[in-house]
Structure 1
Amino acid sequence: MDTDAAGQGTAKVRLSKSLSAGEKAATASRKEKIKAALAELGIPHDSDNVPNIAVLGSGGGLRATIALCGTLVELKNHDLLDCAMYLTGVSGSTWCMTSFYKTENWTERLQELETLQRESLTQDRWEFEIAARALLKAASDENYSLTEFWSYFVVYQMLNELDETTLSELRGSSENGKNPYPVYAAVNNNTYAENLAGTWFEFTPHEVGIPDLGAYVDTKYFGSVFENGQMIEEKEEKNICYLQGLWGSAYGRKADMNKIIRDALGLFRVSMRRYSGGFHLFYKLYHVLMKTTTCLHQWKWGTTNNFLYKCCGDEVYNLSSEKTISLIDAGPAINTAYPLILHPERNVKLILSFDFSSRDPFMTIEKAADHCAKFGIKFPKIDEIKSEDKNNPSGCYIFRGKDAPTVMHFPLFNKDNCPGKIAEYKMQFATNKLKYSNGEIEKLLAAAKKNVVNARQKIWEEIERAVAPSS
């Protein structure tokens, strides 16, 4: 970010395909932790050139939130998590990540955080007054959309927390070297179906931007008004609860989303009645109700000020000609953030992709291969998957290619961790499931952890292969 001499802030769009200064510093610090972890595991490595390893968590609602928690706990138990440079999430995986990164040394406290997650998900802490206050504030913005309502009246109920911290406030836990560097994903609602350039947006504690176009703004100014690459009006930074709604706004079929929102609107109407005697407050709540209903009819999601407005020329699929853009969950594009982690300067050589999807267990990696082929990105060849594997997958698949990163692909439910019960598990832990009992959380955690336990030797071997000193 550029600032004036007084430090008052003359923020500009950064036009570059290089990593942010914050990410460079954070990953340099993390590299020292990785070297120590490799030494602890007895893995030979070139201390001057340690290739990066990334852990990817897919979308999948609360199923992904819980499963990523179990996955990270077990990777840590086997001293494998400390070898990872990056942790990237889509949708429900981002909900787990943001809750962890509030703790500066979270990788060292995973057992404790697992317990806290279980307690949070099984307790009813949602309060109408807190949600309504947040919604009233959000509705005063001209860019109000269903995302705000979804965040405060659905995601808040599911996670039992309205997190008012901001992403930029979590820089400490990404800079201290103790944790992998986090990358969160969203996509442009108007371009993802055609997979056009400029579709994928990344969110880190330092910057929000579009890697394939090389355009970024400081995370503190995401949502502020920009023109010609210069900030002309600063807006308050969006809180984590809003971002959780933005990143996790694709919840199965549109019909499922529609029903969930209409049910939440019904709760909103019922709760409003207690304020019918206070005309001023009741009127404001009624105004929010009408505004949300209009957004529902228009199916308006994730509207925010476009920091590329009048910045880069109309040739970039009209991105520069629109004052606002619509960002949504990356799940409908690719349910795992391969396009972000494959940024050339991230130099990722090994990807541990934990797929928590409920449908075809290979759809994410096949879509990733298609994306990479279209944009000339090196990616291993994905051989045709046998139909029996799609219906009854193993717990781990390894894909390698010349001059391409190695991908280890882990379907959540498989013949190794729930033999003969894959369909049963998928039904019990459906994406549109909004609440989990203690017993269900324990069962899902066990399945996710078993995946890591079963594959720990293979993971060790692939890390050894990735970081082996050049001959």
Structure 2
Amino acid sequence: TFLPNRQTCHYVRIGHSLNEAESQLVANRRATVQQCLQQHNITCSDEVPIIAVVAAGGGERAMIALLGSLSQMSEEELLDCIMYLGGDSGSTWCMASVYKEPDWSKQMETVKQNIIKRLNYGNVTCSEQYKKLAKMCGKDNFSVTDIWSVFPVSGIVKEIDDHVITEQRGQYTNDPYPIYTVIDKQCKHNTLYKDTWFEITPDECGYSLTGAFVDTKCFGSRFEKGAKTEEHPEIDMLYLQELKSDGSALIVCFNFILSDFWKVIAKCIEKVSQWDWGTTYNFLYKMKADDVHTSILKSKTRQYEDTGLLINSPYLSILRKERNVDLIISLDFNSGVQFETVDQVAQMSKVLQIPFPTVEHPGNTEELEDFYVFKNNPNAPVVIHMPLFNAMNCKGEVKMWENKYTTFQLAYSEDMISNLLEKAGLNIKNTKEKLLKEIEEVIQRKEN
């Protein structure tokens, strides 16, 4: 077992405790949370609640809806009471954008306007996309993930983001701690659900429930028996966004010919034919770890893919016992079957013996409310479930709004972006007092 810090990032850590950087941020942010709650006349002494926002996926719909939700939280002076922000799939496109700005939560309106401006008027040329793809082709683990990130994803988010996640270290001391989630494809197929959930933070990444981690700066490098043997460049944010995208088809259009054009095309065709997604060197290769399934330890590489292909929300990483989360605000950006995600989490938690409240709801209905609370398990966090489109903000037109904002479509128009930001913001504005009431009850429960 190795302690992950800046001096020992060449080693793997086997253990369930939080890494030092996350522990320090949580400790420091308690004062911010306490002060925020005091502004709402909520006293919590030393029993500061750990509140997490989990944002579901859903392509650009999820990206914009999360942006609108965070913006409204800022306006309602609620953002500072959030300790963790977890996302998967399209919601992480928003997270990748806001966390590029140091202390973004203190300048939320400016950050939001800059992102909207980019989505409305930004442009990534075919030449820029091709150059990025040609560079990615040189990687040992080039896969369909690289192709998808360069073409559909960069075209939707209107940028090729070459930043790496470790650049966020030390820049988010006044912001919620970010947790990006993916799943281990092989573990999912083998129904090894404890080993399936994989988290990525600016400081450390690894298997949330198994307790096997490596410094994020080394993720993608070669490891053997717990030590780094060959260094590879850290994955950039464009690739990270694709690991959590909702891709189901590949649309590639080349309008030009360069000297190595056909080599790149041949490599792309090969990977698409193999349907090879998210291949990464396995930092647990040849390790000895009792809690990790042997099939992982024997594998030189692993394939990571969108969390939405199992459960379209980052609940399981947030529910990691060591995070001691008291209240989860679930922003459900799914479309289609209502409550599907929270039902799946409840079932998965039961299988994995993770405390979670019993989920009871009215089912799939046009009379969907904007605020549901599940809190009948004293050993589990309280869960607030907030559907994006509901009877309160859609006025009886839920299906119409769902059909307008589908997951698999090209970049939204300026009007679509503006309207979706408004709908997401209304959910926070309309439920502010209910949310504060639940926070107050959580504090009372902790004190008792």
Q: 1:422 to 1:139 in 2, by over 3 A?
A: same
Structure 1 distance, partners of 2:228, 2:197, is 22
Give the equivalent residue in structure 1 for 2:44: 45
Residue 367 of structure 2 is matched in structure 1 by 392
Q: 1:207 touches 1:216 (CA, 8 Å); kept in 2? A: yes
1:154 Cα offset (Å): 1.6
Over residues 284-312 of structure 1, what are the superposed CA-to-partner deviations in whole Å (9 max), with x where a residue is unaligned? 32112111111111111000101111113
Within 2, Cα distance between the matches of 1:339 and 1:293? 35
Give the CA deviation at 1:399. Answer: 0.3
Q: Shift in Å at residue 317 of structure 1?
A: 5.0
Q: Report the residue type matching 2:325 in the other structure.
A: V
**1:345 has 2:345 as partner:** no
> Deviations along 1:196-222, whole A, 9 cap, x unmatched?
221010000000110211100000000
TM-superposed CA distance for 1:247, in Å, is: 1.8
Q: Helix, strand or coil for the counterpart of 1:237? A: coil
Counterpart among 116, 119, 129 of residue 118 in structure 1: 116
Offset of 1:15 from its aligned partner?
0.5
- Amino acid in structure 1 at the alignment position of 2:127: E
Asked if the contact 2:5/2:215 (under 8 Å) is kept, the reply is no
Instruction: State the shift of 1:133 in Å.
Output: 2.2
SS in 2 for 1:168: helix
Which of 76, 79, 96 lines up with 2:77 in the alignment? 79
The offset of 1:129, in angstroms, is: 2.7
- The answer to whether structure 1 residue 221 and structure 2 residue 218 are counterparts is yes
1:334–1:10 Cα change, 3 Å? closer
Q: Within 2, Cα distance between the matches of 1:223 and 1:327?
A: 12
Report if the CA contact (8 A) 2:366-2:391 is conserved: no
Deviation (angstroms), 1:2: 6.5
In structure 1, C-alpha distance between the alignment counterparts of 2:439 and 2:366, rounded to whole Å: 29
Question: Structure 2 matches for 1:47-446, cutoff 5 A?
Answer: 47=46, 49-174=47-172, 176=173, 178-193=174-189, 194=191, 196-248=193-245, 250-251=246-247, 257-258=248-249, 261=250, 263-264=251-252, 267-268=253-254, 270-271=255-256, 273=257, 275=258, 282=259, 284-312=260-288, 316=293, 318-383=295-360, 385-387=361-363, 389-400=364-375, 401-446=377-422
Give % identity.
35
Give the aligned partner of residue 463 of structure 1: 439
Amino acid at match of 1:318: S
1:447 corresponds to which residue? Answer: 423
Deviation at 1:156, TM superposition (A): 1.0
CA–CA distance in 1 between the matches of 2:410 and 2:223?
37
**Match for residue 27 of structure 2?**
28
Query: 1:225·1:235 contact (CA, 8 Å) conserved in 2?
Result: yes
- Regions of 4+ moved over 6 Å: 1-5
1:117-137 residue CA offsets vs partner (Å, 9 max, x unmatched): 211112241122322222222
Looking at structure 2, the residues matched to 417 and 13 of structure 1 have their Cα atoms a distance apart, in angstroms, of: 47
C-alpha distance in structure 2 between counterparts of 1:3 and 1:55, whole Å: 26
1:163 partner SS: coil
**SS in structure 2 opposite 1:335?**
coil
**Structure 1 residue 77: deviation in Å?**
1.2
Q: Is the 1:46–1:467 contact (alpha carbons within 8 Å) kept by the matching residues of 2? A: no
Q: Is the 8 A contact 1:360 1:390 kept in 2?
A: no
Unaligned runs of 5+ in 2: none
Instruction: Decide which moves more: 342-351 or 308-317.
Output: 308-317
Mapped partners of 1:467, 1:102: distance in 2: 33
CA contact (8 A) 1:208 1:218 kept: yes
Offset of 1:313 from its aligned partner? Answer: 5.7
Deviations 1:409-446 (A, max 9, x none): 00100111102211111111100122111111111011
CA distance in 2, matches of 1:101, 1:236: 21
Asked if the contact 2:4–2:20 (Cα under 8 Å) also holds between the matched residues in 1, the reply is no
Q: Give the TM-score normalised by the residue count of structure 1.
A: 0.91
CA distance in 2, matches of 1:116, 1:4: 34
Count, aligned residues = 443
Q: In the TM superposition, what is the alpha-carbon distance from 1:53 to its structure 2 partner?
A: 0.3
Q: 1:15 matched to which residue of 2?
A: 14
Q: 1:336-355: per-residue Cα shift (whole Å, max 9, x none)?
A: 11100011111101000000
Deviation, 1:391, is 4.2
Cα distance, 1:3 vs. partner?
9.3
Distance apart, 1:192 and its partner CA: 2.1
- Tell me the alpha carbon deviations over residues 14-40 of structure 1, each in whole angstroms, 9 at most, x when there is no partner: 011000111011111211111111111
**How far apart in 2 are the matches of 1:333 and 1:10?**
30
Unaligned 5+ segments in structure 1 are 252-256, 276-281
